[in-house]
Chain A
């Protein structure tokens, strides 16, 4: 997870962009985020997009990463009733959709809860 750290104001912008999202300074350097954070808010979505039927219901969370940025992410390896605000999560690479006609499998980042011992 590549982000940018602003050398002028210290703000971390995710995903990486060459301009700071807070002070608009150009003096930024790339930084690799660890992918760890906590759930700030979440929603269980029952109205999915075409091609994502097998994910329903989706758990979408607003996650505050350790390095500061807040991002939206899909939770995986979790049931809606287990999720709570403040829960620790970590990023993992997972399959998101399959284009059976062209034979392409799409992967992207999702977040799974961090449980004791995991």
Chain B
């Protein structure tokens, strides 16, 4: 069986890069990756969710291949699965290497979301909602998340302060992460008094969407340098479950359990979680699916296991479809001891979980140091 390894990673600071187009962003991460290692790219898989709406752009992979001078025989693809695009791109790249079609696949996360007022961005990301009865009547993703938060609070008897613990820890984690958008501390008072977006959802309960670019290289065993600590992509799994407005994320549980069982591991073997905290309530519901906490108390896991050590979507920032590539890049750097921010020592197993904004579809990947 062909094995697949993560052999390189590069990130650009998530933020408001008004002066940069897609190719400028790619140039930052690609040249940084090229300067740190030598490789021949066989395929480029671009993960980007909203380029048609945000930048009037398609054909991104071809443009990247041309502009970066990768050669005439490189396969270019773009994967779109909303904000889960990053890990969907991993599923494609993983398949290309497994099948023997490519030895080195560059996964490139790209998103531009900053150049608009929030009402415009809310309209763009509302494309994720059901066509007729949610998008068509003018609902926003924030309102759907607010309803889920209300249902979660009622189901488990929780107050607002429970959720506020998430941004406090994430902002603290982001301090020292040079790629983080919001690398400053926040207080309980600031969180509780922030503007109400969609009651009970306040500003700090929502991951901030911004621009970003990140890259990771997937390689076959023969293309992986033998002398380094090797990070194997052991499994990639996904699940789609129709949302029923119950405060739980079945797709997340399915995808995480599938990734672990393929690797012959259990939740308690995971040294590091990277999760898709698009909202604080999502973080709680994702972590509840691990089964490592009492029902409705997902955030309590923060006291026992490293989760989103670089600040997560909440503080590293939420670059839409590029998010999964940032998660993979961070996990890779933790496992190889090269992350420039707060580190997890001696981590060998990382579970990376990414999903659509509201969790109808979830992907998981199990990474392991070999």
Interface residues of A (CB under 8 A from B): 14-15, 21, 40-53, 55, 58, 60, 62, 70-74, 96-97, 106, 108-110
A14 to B147 alpha-carbon distance, docked (Å): 18
Instruction: Evaluate whether A41 and B133 lie within 8 angstroms (CB atoms) in the complex, with A60-B198, A96-B138 already known.
Output: no
Could you say which residues of chain A place their CB within 8 Å of the CB of B154? 41
- Tell yes or no: B144 within 8 A of A by CB: yes
A48 to B122 alpha-carbon distance, docked (Å): 7
Instruction: Evaluate whether A74 and B137 lie within 8 angstroms (CB atoms) in the complex, with A43-B146, A47-B118 already known.
Output: yes
- Tell yes or no: B196 within 8 A of A by CB: yes
Of B130, B147, B195, B244, the contact of A41 (CB 8 Å cutoff): B147
Contact between A49 and B201, CB atoms less than 8 A apart = no
Contact between A46 and B198, CB atoms less than 8 A apart = yes
- Tell yes or no: B2 within 8 A of A by CB: no
Contact between B133 and A55, CB atoms less than 8 A apart = no
- Tell yes or no: B290 within 8 A of A by CB: no
Could you say which residues of chain A place their CB within 8 Å of the CB of B200? 43
Which residue of A has the minimal Cβ distance to B120?
A50
B237-268 vs A, CB cutoff 8 Å, 1 = contact: the mask equals 00000101100000000000000000000000
Quote the shortest CB–CB distance from A71 to chain B (angstroms).
Answer: 7
Contact between B146 and A45, CB atoms less than 8 A apart = yes
A58 to B200 alpha-carbon distance, docked (Å): 14
Which residue of A has the minimal Cβ distance to B151?
A41
A19 to B200 alpha-carbon distance, docked (Å): 35
Contact between A15 and B132, CB atoms less than 8 A apart = yes
Contact between B122 and A43, CB atoms less than 8 A apart = no
Contact between A50 and B150, CB atoms less than 8 A apart = no
Could you say which residues of chain A place their CB within 8 Å of the CB of B196? 44, 46
- Tell yes or no: B134 within 8 A of A by CB: yes
Contact between A50 and B133, CB atoms less than 8 A apart = no
Could you say which residues of chain B place their CB within 8 Å of the CB of A52? 138
Contact between A48 and B147, CB atoms less than 8 A apart = no
- Tell yes or no: B199 within 8 A of A by CB: yes
Instruction: Evaluate whether A48 and B140 lie within 8 angstroms (CB atoms) in the complex, with A41-B151, A72-B245 already known.
Output: yes
A73 to B129 alpha-carbon distance, docked (Å): 13
A23 to B151 alpha-carbon distance, docked (Å): 24
Of B130, B138, B147, B244, the contact of A43 (CB 8 Å cutoff): B147
- Tell yes or no: B226 within 8 A of A by CB: no
Contact between A49 and B126, CB atoms less than 8 A apart = yes
Which residue of B has the minimal Cβ distance to A108?
B137
Of B126, B147, B195, B242, the contact of A60 (CB 8 Å cutoff): B147
Contact between A72 and B147, CB atoms less than 8 A apart = yes
A46 to B199 alpha-carbon distance, docked (Å): 8
Contact between A15 and B133, CB atoms less than 8 A apart = yes
Contact between A49 and B151, CB atoms less than 8 A apart = no
Quote the shortest CB–CB distance from B25 to chain A (angstroms).
Answer: 25
A35 to B129 alpha-carbon distance, docked (Å): 21
Contact between A71 and B244, CB atoms less than 8 A apart = no
Instruction: Evaluate whether A58 and B244 lie within 8 angstroms (CB atoms) in the complex, with A71-B133, A74-B137, A108-B137 already known.
Output: no
Contact between A47 and B142, CB atoms less than 8 A apart = yes
A109 to B134 alpha-carbon distance, docked (Å): 10
Could you say which residues of chain A place their CB within 8 Å of the CB of B144? 60, 72
- Tell yes or no: B304 within 8 A of A by CB: no
- Tell yes or no: B337 within 8 A of A by CB: no
Which residue of B has the minimal Cβ distance to A17?
B242
Quote the shortest CB–CB distance from B271 to chain A (angstroms).
Answer: 37
Could you say which residues of chain B place their CB within 8 Å of the CB of A46? 195-198
Could you say which residues of chain B place their CB within 8 Å of the CB of A108? 132-133, 136-138
A50 to B117 alpha-carbon distance, docked (Å): 9
Quote the shortest CB–CB distance from B164 to chain A (angstroms).
Answer: 18
Contact between B143 and A45, CB atoms less than 8 A apart = yes
A41 to B150 alpha-carbon distance, docked (Å): 7
Instruction: Evaluate whether A45 and B197 lie within 8 angstroms (CB atoms) in the complex, with A15-B132, A72-B133, A72-B139 already known.
Output: yes
Contact between A50 and B136, CB atoms less than 8 A apart = no
A14 to B134 alpha-carbon distance, docked (Å): 12
Which residue of B has the minimal Cβ distance to A56?
B119
Instruction: Evaluate whether A49 and B138 lie within 8 angstroms (CB atoms) in the complex, with A41-B151, A43-B143 already known.
Output: yes
- Tell yes or no: B123 within 8 A of A by CB: yes
Of A15, A21, A40, A48, the contact of B119 (CB 8 Å cutoff): A48
Could you say which residues of chain B place their CB within 8 Å of the CB of A74? 137-139
Contact between B245 and A48, CB atoms less than 8 A apart = no
Which residue of A has the minimal Cβ distance to B197?
A47
